[in-house]
Amino acid sequence: MEELVGLREGSSGNPVTLQELWGPCPRIRRGIRAMAPAEMLEKDWYFLMTLGVLMALISYTMSFTVGRVVRAHKWLYREIGDSHLLRYLSWIVYPVALVSFSSGFSQSITPFSGGSGIPELKTILSGVVLEDYLDIKNFGAKVTITSLYKTSFRVDVPFDLPEIFFFVALGAICGILSCAYLFCQRTFLGFVKTNRVLSKLLATSKPLYSALAALVLASITYPPGVGRFMASRHLDSLFDNNSWALMTRNLSPPWPSEPDPQNLWFEWYHPRFTIFGTLTFFLVMKPCPLHEAVSWPEPRSLALPPAGAAAFSGAVTHTISTALLAFELTGQIVHALPVLMAVLAANAIAQSFQPSFYDGTIIVKKLPYLPWIRCRKISSHHVTVEHFMNRTITTLAKDTPQEEVVKVVTATDTAEYPLVESTESQILVGTVQRAQLVQALQAEPSSWVPGHQQCLQDILAGGCPVEPVTLKLSPETSLHQAHNLFELLKLQSLFVTSHGRAVGFVSWV
């Protein structure tokens, strides 16, 4: 079929295809195509290099901008005076205004910009097409920032071999805590989705919901209150190589009204509590705002607290790369072995009982999701495709009359139809896309003879392409083999054949 062509408004030049005319930034694309050599456009590394440079510039710009905004917030809080009311208002109004503007502005650009985007990206990488999610407008509404700090450790004897056991025990504890955290996170997101008031607020007034959530979080993190134990600058003191319990056993240092940059560990001491009490309070309170923050409808990036270190964050995300991030965070690699052991132990526990942080969000958002096979017993290998395949399959035979083909196409909304050799044999020979078949049915080829009963074979000969089936499943294929095929090849569905005959299909979408 010939491509549709058109003219630009007010132009008297040569017509162009409507696909080029309606595409994003047509003039810029035509200019690049005209200036760049043909051999350059055929190579990928030019585009990858340009993409890397652009991402680096955007990341630096966002980091610089966010740093300035945070610095302005702290400056306003310091310069406001001694009035607790004014300081509290300056602490909460600033983030509430920014969050409300961010939510309203991003939602006005595109409704797909809410959240970190990692669950949607994992769904896209699995082979599912999410319409308009990779649009340039959605990219413009996204914000990601990462902060790094450098710490120095002693390198003479970084750890003793018996300490490995305690690092593994720490990883196991972090794995158990991560399971509880993931359960609470998924439960909270489900509550937000199902609660009548919150769901209505998210559907009708997302900036208001973001403002209320920011108000709660800002009130919790107010420095004269419990926020005194949650400020990010105090986290450097966690790498202090001193025993705080021994230092405060026979000494009661005065609790300063303002943080002392030279003795930040004083912030973890309180006259009414011990060091262990304040640390426990920090561990309990730090993850709680994250449950609320994950429900915000504006673009964001989430950083898990370093209290759980690489083991906790690795268990929550089901990744081992958090150990590498911990090395980059501290600038040291002398603790590689204990950190890796802790991360592996935490991952072993978390992956056995709970989906990851991002997989849980995918489940709550009801995005297409291919779950892991958590059961690794020998009996699970006896489960075959025959036990769970969908036997209700609509096939089209080459000898099917045109009237029957029209009935099948209008009665179903399947994206593709399996093509079989004949109605009796049901031998699978390929697939036909529904859109192309509808287009062929609407055409009037000159080769059709009036009065002759047309069949699907004639329609296919008129120009409707048939795609070959390169991969099929057998009813005897095990569950683990089928799962590996879907996961490695990023497939959405596969047909099941027995001796060449189409008997069903398997799909996870």
DSSP string, 245-284: HHHTTS------SS--TT-GGGGG-BTTB-HHHHHHHHHH
Give pLDDT, residue 212.
Answer: 80
Q: Is 56 exposed, middle or buried (0-12, 13-18, 19+ CB in 10 A)?
A: exposed
Residue 10, classed as helix, strand or coil, is: coil
- Cα distances (Å, whole numbers) of residue 89 to 32, 82, 221, 228: 51, 12, 13, 17
Do 56-230+286-378 and 385-445+452-507 have matching folds? Answer: no
Pairing of strands 16-17, 5-6: antiparallel
For the 56-230+286-378 domain, the top CATH level (class) is mainly alpha
Give pLDDT, residue 253.
Answer: 61
Q: How would DSSP label each residue in 459-472?
A: HHHTT---B-----
Amino acid identity for residue 496 in this structure:
V
Give pLDDT, residue 307.
Answer: 34
Residue 505, classed as helix, strand or coil, is: strand
The residue among 441, 419, 414 whose CA lies nearest residue 431 is 419
How far is Cα 92 from Cα 38, in angstroms, rounded to an integer? 55
End-to-end CA distance of the chain: 32
Count of C-beta atoms within a 10 Å radius of residue 322: 24
Q: Is 436 exposed, middle or buried (0-12, 13-18, 19+ CB in 10 A)?
A: middle
How far is Cα 311 from Cα 181, in angstroms, rounded to an integer? 13
Give pLDDT, residue 457.
Answer: 82
Q: Which residue has the tokens 């989906």?
A: 355
Answer positive or negative: Cα dihedral of 19, 22, 23, 28: positive
Give pLDDT, residue 357.
Answer: 81
The residue among 303, 315, 294 whose CA lies nearest residue 232 is 303
Give pLDDT, residue 235.
Answer: 58
How far is Cα 41 from Cα 347, in angstroms, rounded to an integer? 43
Q: Is 71 exposed, middle or buried (0-12, 13-18, 19+ CB in 10 A)?
A: exposed
Residues 6+ apart with CB under 8 A from 439: 1, 464
User: Which CATH code fits 385-445+452-507?
Assistant: 3.10.580.10
- Cα distances (Å, whole numbers) of residue 265 to 216, 256, 306, 434: 27, 11, 16, 67
Residue 420, classed as helix, strand or coil, is: strand
Give pLDDT, residue 300.
Answer: 45
Task: List the Cα angle 266/269/272 in 5-degree steps.
Answer: 145
Residues 6+ apart with CB under 8 A from 184: 291
Contact 231, 117 (CB under 8 A): no
Joined tokens for residue 410: 């209008």
Joined tokens for residue 399: 């000898």
Contact 401, 453 (CB under 8 A): yes
How far is Cα 370 from Cα 79, in angstroms, rounded to an integer? 53
| Partners of 418 in beta bridges | 431
Residues 6+ apart with CB under 8 A from 83: none
Joined tokens for residue 242: 């001193």
Q: Structural domain boundaries of the chain?
A: 56-230+286-378, 385-445+452-507
Distance of alpha carbon 147 from its chain centroid, rounded? Answer: 20
How far is Cα 454 from Cα 424, in angstroms, rounded to an integer? 19
Pairing of strands 396-397, 416-420: parallel
Give pLDDT, residue 100.
Answer: 75
How far is Cα 56 from Cα 46, in angstroms, rounded to an integer? 16
Joined tokens for residue 126: 């699995």
How far is Cα 142 from Cα 380, in angstroms, rounded to an integer? 42
- Read off the pTM: 0.52
Give pLDDT, residue 8.
Answer: 46
Joined tokens for residue 35: 């200036």
Contact 142, 148 (CB under 8 A): no
Per-residue confidence of the chain (509 residues) as pLDDT tens digits?
A: 344 444 444 444 555 554 454 455 666 666 666 666 655 555 666 777 887 888 888 878 877 887 888 888 888 887 877 777 888 888 888 778 877 777 776 666 666 555 556 666 666 666 666 655 565 555 555 543 333 333 444 445 556 677 778 888 888 888 888 888 888 888 887 887 787 877 777 777 777 777 787 787 777 777 776 666 555 555 566 666 666 666 666 666 666 566 555 665 666 666 666 777 777 776 666 655 554 554 444 444 444 433 346 788 788 888 777 777 776 665 566 677 777 888 888 888 888 888 888 888 788 877 777 777 766 666 677 888 888 888 888 888 888 888 888 888 888 888 888 888 888 888 888 888 888 888 888 775 545 555 556 788 877 877 788 888 888 888 888 888 888 888 888 788 888 988 888 888 888 87
Give pLDDT, residue 7.
Answer: 44
Count of C-beta atoms within a 10 Å radius of residue 193: 14
